Chains A and B, each alone.
Chain A
Amino acid sequence: MTVAGSVSHIEEPVDRPAIPAADATEEKPLLSASGVSKFYGSRIGCEDVSIDIWPGEVLAVVGESGSGKTTLLNCISTRLMPTTGTVTYRMRDGQTRDLYRMGEAERRFLMRTDWGFVHQNPADGLRMTVSAGANVGERLMATGARHYGDIRATAGDWLGRVEIAEDRIDDQPRAFSGGMRQRLQIARNLVTGPRLVFMDEPTGGLDVSVQARLLDLLRGLVTDLGLAVVVVTHDLAVARLLSHRMVVMKDGRVIETGLTDRVLDDPRAPYTQLLVSSILQA
């Protein structure tokens, strides 16, 4: 398995991948986390994490269960206030803003226009009791779309892009399989054309064959749309297939960062070596 637009020729230790994305020429990261720590009381969620996410790159956050992946993802996506550290984001207008100094209204707007968040459990990211069409259309309506016909047409178009038959547009996700729900959640997030999507174990709850199809779809969408993605996964195969670059976490800290192929083929930290040799994956 190699990533489309292979990055294996890149010299080490370049921390920034050469991605054939639309705005790869941008000189600044899209999102930048610096010294981010989150403590749950005396327990460490994540500690002193600094990472950059570049436009159009897919960054995988890997590590065993409890290593702090979800905590980090939530901290950088403003879903969980870090105990210390800063997270900045380069807005569409080019200005870099401190996410935790933004007003709540502006942050919500950012989250539903320029960002997406894909939950492991689709029920956490969908409205289970409204139709697929309304699920996809919600962000449009939340940002001012007021033409029913247009909203419906756009929703139908997006259902097609995530391989859901258009005649399911009026069905509720309750009637969908796990894989369909996850694809619907993805469509719901992508409809506003976000630049950055966060995903927490997006294939986690799915059967292996369904996982493969979803990963395939995700990879296609990410490439087509030039999305930047931060994907949390404990599954190195997912990281291998989707990501350009990865960070390895252990006990809340980042212990290794690098291009995905390099980390997986030539892990440096002893812990990563164990992880890659599957000893810890059982």
Chain B
Amino acid sequence: MTMQPTDLATYNFAYLDEQTKRMIRRAILKAIAIPGYQVPFASREMPMPYGWGTGGVQVTASIIGPDDTLKVIDQGADDTTNAVSIRAFFAKVAEVSTTTSTADATIIQTRHRIPEEKLGEGQILVYQVPIPEPLRFLEPRETETRKMHALEDYGLMHVKLYEDIARNGHIATTYAYPVKIEGRYVMDPSPTPKFDNPKMDQSEALQLFGAGREKRIYAVPPYTSVVSLDFEDYPFEVNRFDQPCALCGAEGVYLDEVVLDDRGGRMFVCSDTDHCEKRRAAGHKGTMAGGEIGQ
């Protein structure tokens, strides 16, 4: 990300002007009041390209205060270019403290993962969303998808799942797996793996979703029911992994495959880097910990 520190000096706290923040906060409040409903908002240009999480950044900018502690993850990792840039951006324009520790963060902005560590009351998870409309793939007309939401006309979601099973023998959707919020709105949980869907259900944390290019904000308030759609004879299942994390030995967490060499060598490690580091610091060891890779 190219940002000139000298430019930023002239910006308001958290980059956006107060007018814009108020507008976005109103959208957020409406989103919280109608869980899962996509609220249109006047998305602003941010000093980073779309696809870098401009929706999430605008949401974070509108809710962050000087006392907040911000964590930013990208696919579970705190150290990717995207995550580092966004964290640096807010450290600069809002002078907030940042952290990689899930438990210490008051706001966590995320792309593609929910931390393994259970979130608690008072924490806010901000998702960067590329495509907010779960019905889009089968019904490209916005006028029609709006009507379908309004009328709770969600047969199409099951058509997609049906197609999945007909083609693959099982529901092959593994990311952006559709959920129903509080028995009403069907929502796209953003491209998080379906592994994380159960974490959204009855979460103690507030979950906010920002789609910059698509100009939509939606929310799941704390203690809200989030149900993954499925069929009676093909119930929702989370991704399973055959082995524990090679570094920290954790089971029941989401693993990334890491290619080690060009001879087919690979290992599976926690996608949540903070979780993995904490476990290793506490003495947990995986099969490849301490070796040439685990250092």
Contact = CB atoms under 8 A, between A and B. Distances in A.
A134 B156 CA distance: 10
A105 B155 contact: no
B162 A151 contact: yes
Interface of A: 104-105, 108, 127, 129-131, 133-134, 137-139, 141-143, 146-149, 151-152, 169-170
B162 A134 contact: yes
Contacts of B147: 104
A146 to B, nearest CB: 5
A108 B151 contact: yes
B266 interface: no
A152 B166 contact: yes
Contacts of B166: 131, 133-134, 152, 169-170
B163 A134 contact: yes
Interface stretch (B98-106, B228-236, B281-289): B228-236
Interface residues of B, number: 19
Interface string B166-191: 11000000000000000000000000
13 contacts: A104-B147, A108-B153, A127-B138, A129-B138, A130-B159, A130-B163, A131-B166, A134-B159, A134-B166, A139-B155, A141-B155, A142-B154, A142-B156
A129 B166 CA distance: 14
B159 A141 contact: yes
Contacts of A143: 155
B159 A147 contact: no
Given A127-B159, A130-B159, A137-B162, 6 more contacts: A108-B151, A130-B163, A131-B163, A142-B155, A142-B156, A148-B162
Contacts of A129: 138
A103 to B, nearest CB: 9
B84 interface: no
A138 B138 CA distance: 12
Interface in B134-159: 138, 147, 151-156, 158-159
Nearest to A129: B138
A148 B233 contact: yes
B121 to A, nearest CB: 34
A61 to B, nearest CB: 28
Tell which of B147, B151, B152, B159 has the most Cβ of chain A within 10 Å: B159
Nearest to B153: A108
B165 interface: yes
Contact of A148 (B138, B151, B155, B234): B234
Contact of A146 (B158, B165, B167): B158
Given A130-B163, A131-B163, A133-B162, A138 B234 contact: no
B68 to A, nearest CB: 42
Contact of B167 (A104, A142, A147, A170): A170
Nearest to A103: B151
Contacts of B154: 142
A105 B163 CA distance: 26
A151 to B, nearest CB: 7
B231 A147 contact: yes
Contacts of B151: 104-105, 108
Contacts of B163: 130-131, 134
A29 to B, nearest CB: 28
Contact of A149 (B152, B159, B167, B233): B233
A147 B233 contact: yes
A236 B24 CA distance: 61
Interface in B78-96: none
Contact of B156 (A133, A138, A149, A152): A138
B167 A148 contact: no
Contact of B231 (A108, A139, A146, A170): A146
B152 A141 contact: no
Interface in B199-235: 231-234
Contacts of B165: 148
B44 to A, nearest CB: 34
